[in-house]
Structure formats: C-alpha cells, structure tokens
C-alpha cells in the first residue's frame, strides 16, 4: 500500500503519496484534482518495480498554498519537482503529468534533461510557444468568454466554485470536458453552467472517490489551483529562451478521443504536430471514447501504456 507524508522542497511542504522501490517516477496531477487522481497508477507502477511518488501540487490539497499569485509560475512548479527529486535522495526521475501536470512534466524535461530522463504527458500536448501571449491572442481573435479568461480576476471563480463544493466537483468530474463548448463560459451562468446536483457519476468514479475530492477542496478552497491560470501570459514571457526548443528525451503521449482539449482546430493540430517538439516520441496513444480524466477513466489501458514505456526507458532491476 502507498504511504503519505510531508516533504520539504523548494521552500514549501509538499504532501506526497509514495509506494515501491526502484527507479523514481513522479506523477503530477492537474486541475481540479489531487495526488488521489493517481490512485490506480501508484500501486500498479510500484508493482512493476518502480518507486512512485505523487504529490499534491503547489496550491492543491494538503500542499502549501501561497497567497501570492506570482508564486505559481511554471518555474515554481518545475522547481518544486526538481527539489522533490533531491529531497527524495535521487538525482534522476521519469516525470509523468496529466492536465496542468502535463505542462509541468513537459517543461521539467525541457529545463532539466539531466534530471528528467523521460517524460509522459496525458491529455495536454507538449508546449507550443506561440508568437504572442495566449490571453492577448484570444482577445485578438474575438474570444472573450474562454474559461482561462474567466479565471483571471481573483475572487470571481473562487466564489462560484466554493459556493457548493460537492456540486462543483460532481459537475466537473462527472461532466468532464468532452464538449468543447464546456470550455466557454455562457453569460451569467458561470463556469459550471446549469449544474445538476443529481448528475449521475460515471462508472470510474465512486461516491467515496468524489468525497475524497470534496473534502480536500472544502479544506483548501480553489484559489491555489486557479492561480496557475493567472500565470499563463507570464509563463509565455518566462519561457522565451526556449522558443521552438525540442524535448529530446524519450516521450509518451496519452489522451482520450473525446477530450475537448485535443479536439478542435488548435488541439487537433497540436496533437498532429507534436513530433516537432518531441523528436523521440515513442508512442501517441489516443483511447477511443475516453474523455479528459484519462488515468481514472481508463486505468488499465493507461497503466499498461505507462508501464510499457517505463520498462523501455528506465528498466527496473
């Protein structure tokens, strides 16, 4: 079974779940999730001969959350993972991320190829640093209601999401992001839209699982995770030195075919062209009929793909 503890790293305390012995594997979750989102991967990867560590990321769950919006840049998140590897008395790791955790994993591999020897991203393709700030680009394209924009002003999204945390988490996890329109905020309806308190849970999410997320977000609130979005343009500025830089380590990409993040003109193109950023891409797995919460929805397929990749790039003894 996995154990939990607090680890001091990069000036904060990270709550981590860990299990197993062998080559180190870090699992980085996204929004609005927790290390608990990897509950199916931790024991499976550990049983395959690896030391698996899944933190609650900065600002989430039981990990510390700074009140300073500027403390949530991509440098802070990658810095947390670099410091975590060191705190675990290791010097190398394979890093795997889902949703917001995927950009952390991709950038960790980009910034520190000496430490992160292989990388896998779930649901979010590798970084394509455009020629302009993302929020400015949206505005220039006549878009004013994308969820990134709605999340920018502190307090607005927090008020909506924290009004009824149980309803919020049921809506976001059960509804997912299969419909691209779910990424746009309708006037006067907020991010959740017409939330249904009786929305049935999908087969991959039990009421006990949902309760784990609800309890955590009732305790932490949503501001820490939302602050990640408030650094989107700042991240674009900070990553200027890596314009068009490839990630040369062995890599893997997994997503669901019904995930709105990889659908549409932008998402589909990024998936199609990712070999430009990932010249050593070993596999691009698109799971038919699956949505955004891929490692929870399709645990067996994701586990098989991840373990196969790990055995290829970091063989366990």
CATH code assigned at 159:
3.40.50.1820
Helical H runs in 240-298?
Answer: 264-272, 294-297
Q: Which of 201, 203, 192 is nearest to 164 (CA)?
A: 192
**What is the CA angle 294-55-153, rounded to 5?**
80
pLDDT at 265 over 70: no
d(CA 71, CA 107): 17
First to last CA, the chain: 20
**Domains: count for the chain:** 1
pLDDT at 34 over 90: yes
Asked if residues 54 and 17 have their Cβ atoms less than 8 Å apart, the reply is yes
Tens-place pLDDT, residues 44-65: 999 999 999 999 999 999 999 9
DSSP result, 1-58: --EEEEEEETTEEEEEEEE--SSEEEEE--TT--GGGGTTHHHHHHHTT-EEEEEPPT
Helical H runs in the chain?
Answer: 41-47, 74-87, 101-111, 134-140, 147-150, 156-163, 165-175, 207-220, 223-229, 232-238, 264-272, 294-297, 299-313
Domain housing 209: 3-313
The Cα diameter of the chain in Å comes to: 57
d(CA 268, CA 265): 6
> What pLDDT shows up at residue 284?
97
80, 99, 258, 259: which is the annotated catalytic residue?
A: 99
In the annotation, is 292 catalytic? yes
> What pLDDT shows up at residue 40?
98
> What pLDDT shows up at residue 188?
86
Asked if residues 267 and 261 have their Cβ atoms less than 8 Å apart, the reply is yes
pLDDT at 264 over 80: no
> What pLDDT shows up at residue 268?
83
Bridge partners of residue 112, in order along the sequence: none
pLDDT at 69 over 90: yes
pLDDT at 177 over 80: no
Rounded to the nearest 5°, which phi and psi values hold at 93? -160, 155
pLDDT at 128 over 90: no
> What pLDDT shows up at residue 269?
86
Residue 179: band (very low, low, confident or very high) from pLDDT cuts 50, 70, 90:
confident
Residue 129: band (very low, low, confident or very high) from pLDDT cuts 50, 70, 90:
confident
Mean pLDDT of the chain: 95
pLDDT at 117 over 90: yes
Place of tokens 């802070």: 76
pLDDT at 135 over 90: yes
pLDDT at 166 over 90: yes
Q: For the residues 245-258, what does the mean pLDDT come to?
A: 97
> What pLDDT shows up at residue 160?
97
Residue 232: band (very low, low, confident or very high) from pLDDT cuts 50, 70, 90:
very high
d(CA 221, CA 23): 34
Q: Under 8 Å CB-to-CB from 131, ≥6 apart: which residues?
A: none
Residue 246: band (very low, low, confident or very high) from pLDDT cuts 50, 70, 90:
very high
């Amino acid at each position: 079974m996995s154990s939990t503890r607090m680890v001091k790293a990069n000036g904060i305390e990270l709550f981590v779940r860990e299990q197993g012995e062998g080559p180190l594997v870090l699992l980085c979750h996204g929004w609005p999730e927790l290390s608990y989102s990897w509950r199916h991967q931790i024991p499976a990867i550990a049983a395959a001969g690896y030391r698996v560590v899944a933190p609650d990321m900065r600002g989430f769950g039981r990990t510390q959350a700074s009140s300073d919006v500027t403390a949530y840049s991509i440098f802070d998140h990658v810095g947390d993972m670099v410091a975590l590897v060191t705190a675990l008395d290791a010097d190398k790791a394979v890093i795997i991320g889902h949703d917001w955790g995927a950009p952390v994993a991709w950038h960790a591999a980009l910034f520190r190829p000496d430490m992160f020897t292989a990388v896998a991203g779930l649901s979010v393709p590798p970084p394509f640093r455009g020629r302009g700030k993302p929020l400015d680009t949206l505005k220039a394209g006549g878009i004013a209601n994308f969820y990134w924009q709605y999340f920018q002003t502190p307090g607005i999204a927090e008020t909506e999401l924290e009004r009824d945390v149980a309803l919020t988490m049921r809506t976001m996890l059960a509804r997912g992001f299969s419909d691209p329109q779910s990424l746009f905020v309708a006037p006067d309806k907020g991010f959740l839209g017409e939330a249904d308190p009786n929305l049935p849970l999908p087969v991959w999410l039990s009421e006990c699982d949902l309760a784990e997320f609800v309890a955590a977000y009732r305790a932490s609130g949503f501001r820490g995770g939302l602050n990640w979005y408030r650094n989107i343009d700042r991240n674009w500025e900070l990553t200027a030195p890596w314009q068009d830089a490839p990630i040369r380590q062995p890599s893997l990409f997994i997503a669901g075919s019904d995930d709105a993040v990889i659908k549409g003109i932008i998402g589909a193109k990024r998936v199609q062209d990712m070999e430009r950023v990932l010249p050593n891409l070993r596999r691009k797995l698109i799971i038919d009929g699956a949505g955004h919460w891929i490692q929870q929805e399709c645990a067996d397929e994701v586990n098989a793909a991840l373990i196969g990749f790990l055995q290829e790039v970091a063989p366990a003894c």
